[in-house]
Structure 1
Amino acid sequence: MKLGLCAGLAAALFATTAGAALKEGDNAPAFSAPASLAGKTFSYSLQDALKKGPVVVYFYPAAFTGGCSVQAHLFAVQHDKFTAAGASIVGVSLDSIERLNEFSADPESCAGKIAVASDAGGRIARRFDLVVREAVAGRKDTRGAEIDHGYAERTTFVVTPDGRVAATVGGLGPVENVQRALEAVQKLAAARR
């Protein structure tokens, strides 16, 4: 059951933290972090990305877990629709940049289209008012590698160029999460016309 770990973690986290994340109208905290796109490391800055338009900042529990790989792949498949609505996408997890270099290039995950940032200590997730859970001993990803880091709940924020949260999407599975994020950016694009 590939979706099990990531979807199960997200459901458990959301069940205990519903309502904790930043809400529509809140200021999104600016952040910079090491990130990867198509297997290449770079320095990601939310402030710089917002100069070009809205940003979808999606937090997910761990790279190479069933639901998280599905979510990343759906963002990659829908990438052109997000771009057409003027938005960029960045995933954020507590994974190391080394794992994210692999994940960002993996054709079954980010497929070289989605940037993913490393929040190794959970500082960024906490600034978005997300609960960060400690690593669970013995947990493995879909490749059989041990997951040696904590988890942030699956929550997506659509941030407008002025740094405000336009939408918060949480408590949903990966497919619904991506669809709601796309609807939110398309609504923003329609309002700008």
Structure 2
Amino acid sequence: MNRIVFAALAGVALAASPARAELPVGASAPTFATQAALGGKAFAFNLKAALAKGPVVLYFFPKAFTPGCTLEAHAFAEATPEFEKLGATIIGLSNDNLDELKKFSVLECRNKFPVGAATPAIDDAYDVHLVRDGKDTGLTSRTSYVIDQSGKIVLVHSDMDYKDHVKLTLAAVKKLAQEHH
């Protein structure tokens, strides 16, 4: 039974097709504040405050505890020390409620990085509505942004397959670090 559910969920994720209108490289990242969770505890996340400390990896994911989103969270958790060495902050955003995100931050993000609530205004600002058959699903597309300390977007990767998100965002953060040394 679990294999069937897993296969069905994986098929849904692969069949989904985002509108592909995410923000372009070079654009100014819209600032926002939202409720987030780290290690099961809620806190207020503010993009502007995070950027004051260094670059930000902002990744949107469709739904906590689904197969691809869980594997992506594990991959970001494993790479968190590398991002931190380079001065980067990671935050994942989805349309899940805060209680769900608190659990996800512990179980799947492994207390390594926060996940926050993607409000409709944030979804609009970053153009990450997951559209299927011409209709907004109410989920976010799997889209990763790397935002430099000045607030400019230096990388956009939108792909429902989670596999390259960590590799590409880490490469962009490394490039930023090299440019600033």
Structure 1 length-normalised TM = 0.83
| TM superposition shift of 1:132 | 4.2
Q: Does the CA-based 8 Å contact 1:62-1:95 persist in structure 2?
A: yes
2:115 corresponding residue in structure 1: 116
Cα RMSD, aligned residues only: 1.9
> How far apart, in 1, do the equivalents of 2:160 and 2:97 lie?
25
> How far apart, in 2, do the equivalents of 1:172 and 1:165 lie?
20
Task: Tell me if 1:13 matches 2:17.
Answer: yes
| TM superposition shift of 1:125 | 1.6
Task: Tell me if 1:47 matches 2:35.
Answer: no
> Number of matched residues?
173
> How far apart, in 1, do the equivalents of 2:158 and 2:55 lie?
18
- Structure 2: where are the runs of 5+ without partners? none
Q: Which runs of 4+ in 1 moved over 3 A?
A: 1-4
1:143 corresponding residue in structure 2: none
Change (3 A) 1:91 1:28: same
1:95 corresponding residue in structure 2: 96
Structure having the higher strand fraction is: 2
Structure having the higher helix fraction is: 2
1:153 corresponding residue in structure 2: 141
Structure 2 length-normalised TM = 0.88
2:36 corresponding residue in structure 1: 35
Partner amino acid for 1:150?
A: G
CA deviation vs aligned residue, 1:63-122 (integer Å, no higher than 9, x gap): 00000010011000000111112111000000000000000010xx10001100112x43
> How far apart, in 1, do the equivalents of 2:179 and 2:37 lie?
31
